[in-house]
Amino acid sequence: MTSTQEVAGSLPAPGEAWRLMAVHAHPDDESSKGAASMARYVSEGVDVLVVSCTGGERGDVLNPALVEELSHVADLTAIRQAEMARAIEILGVRHRWLGFVDSGLPEGDPLPPLPEGCFAAIPIEDGARALVQAVREFRPHVITTYDENGGYPHPDHVRTHEISMIAFERAGDPDAFPGTGEPWQPLKLYYHLTFHKQRLLALHEAALARGLESPYTEWLESWVDKPEDAARLTTRVECGDWFAARDDALRAHATQVDPTGRWFSVPLEVQRQAWSTEDFQLAKSLVPFVSGPDGLEHDLFAGIAELAEQYDEPTAESA
């Protein structure tokens, strides 16, 4: 169990930049999940680091306009690295590759075995060790990652969730992962909640109300409601002013997105009016939950700020 002293030791010091680490599976994931929130926090002086667990080496060219042009390219690694560099520049964040190899998305029935040596096939402790070292070096106050299903069941997304949970639980343990730096205990961990029904329905209805074709019609028609999903939304971060940066960063991954596809089909002004936040599920926290009148958080650092103020207040002995 984390002690009060350990929590206090992880609070931002007066005048210190707060730190947010976003852990993702592949280049482009950072631009489709939580990008506007990151850009907002950068504008407010937060130090943001994106960690990419793999290089996306086994990804396909998903932009129809580039399929023929890049059909001869056997290795997309260098191209995806350049795309990532551009996206990072647009968002204003820092970036770190963990250096693991993309597992690819297995297809077929039965599913084929994962490629030898890929991220999802190596021992989980190897992936966790690399992420713990990154946590101990960057010392984030908050981590964002994927839920237990990976957001969607790609083996690299699921593995990213698994090592993120290990890193949150063990990066502060001085006996864990020796040789990876001084212990550091993050204070909060969130799951991205990008594609939840409430948000998709709001965007769908807003598009239809303006006479636009909704890109979410088939998705919502096939949606299967799960009772536990209603409790997942805990946190909404206002970031509509950074939606354009989010889209620009995603378009920077030119091999991975169709700029005429559904990602970009609902005008930004409609999105801002219908649903101006990026959403998260608070999965782990060592600080009090601080909600607004709607019962939700509206800041990934909520609770940390309030607790830090308590520790900063002069005591009777020091006054």
Which domains are present in the chain?
A: 17-194+233-310 (3.40.50.10320)
Amino acid in position 226: K
Inter-axis angle of helices 243-252 and 35-43, nearest 10 = 120
Percent share of the chain, pLDDT over 90: 79
DSSP for residue 87 = H
Dihedral pair phi/psi, residue 134, rounded to 5°: -65, -40
User: How would residue 305 be classed by pLDDT, with cut points 50, 70 and 90?
Assistant: confident
Cα(166)–Cα(257) distance, rounded to whole angstroms? Answer: 31
Q: What is the pLDDT of residues 108-131, one digit of tens each?
A: 888 899 999 999 999 999 999 999
Q: Span 227-237, mean pLDDT? A: 92
Other Cβ atoms within 10 Å of 281 Cβ, number: 17
Q: Which of 26-40, 59-73, 147-161, 216-230 has the lowest mean pLDDT?
A: 59-73
Mean pLDDT of the chain: 93
Contact 55, 277 (CB under 8 A): no
DSSP for residue 266 = S
pLDDT at site 318: 42
User: How would residue 316 be classed by pLDDT, with cut points 50, 70 and 90?
Assistant: very low
Q: What is the pLDDT of residues 245-262, one digit of tens each?
A: 999 999 999 999 999 888
Q: Which residues pair with 83 in a beta bridge?
A: none
pLDDT at site 315: 45
- Say yes or no to pLDDT of 271 above 80: yes
Sheet holding 188-192, edge to edge: 94-100, 47-54, 19-24, 142-145, 188-192, 277-285, 235-238
Contact 2, 201 (CB under 8 A): no
DSSP string, 139-174: --SEEEE--TT-SS--HHHHHHHHHHHHHHHHTT-T
The answer to whether the pTM exceeds 0.85 is: yes
Q: What is the pLDDT of residues 57-113, one digit of tens each?
A: 988 888 998 988 886 676 788 999 999 999 999 999 999 999 999 999 998 888 899
**244-251, long-range: CB < 8 A, 24+ apart:** 244/268, 245/35, 245/36, 245/39, 245/90, 245/91, 246/31, 246/35, 246/36, 246/39, 248/90, 249/30, 249/31, 249/35, 249/39, 249/87, 249/90, 249/91, 250/28, 250/31, 250/32, 250/35, 250/87
DSSP for residue 116 = T
Q: What is the pLDDT of residues 182-227, one digit of tens each?
A: 999 999 999 999 999 999 999 999 999 999 999 999 999 999 998 8
Q: What residues have CB less than 8 Å from 315, skipping those under 6 apart?
A: none
Q: Span 39-68, mean pLDDT? A: 94
pLDDT at site 2: 63
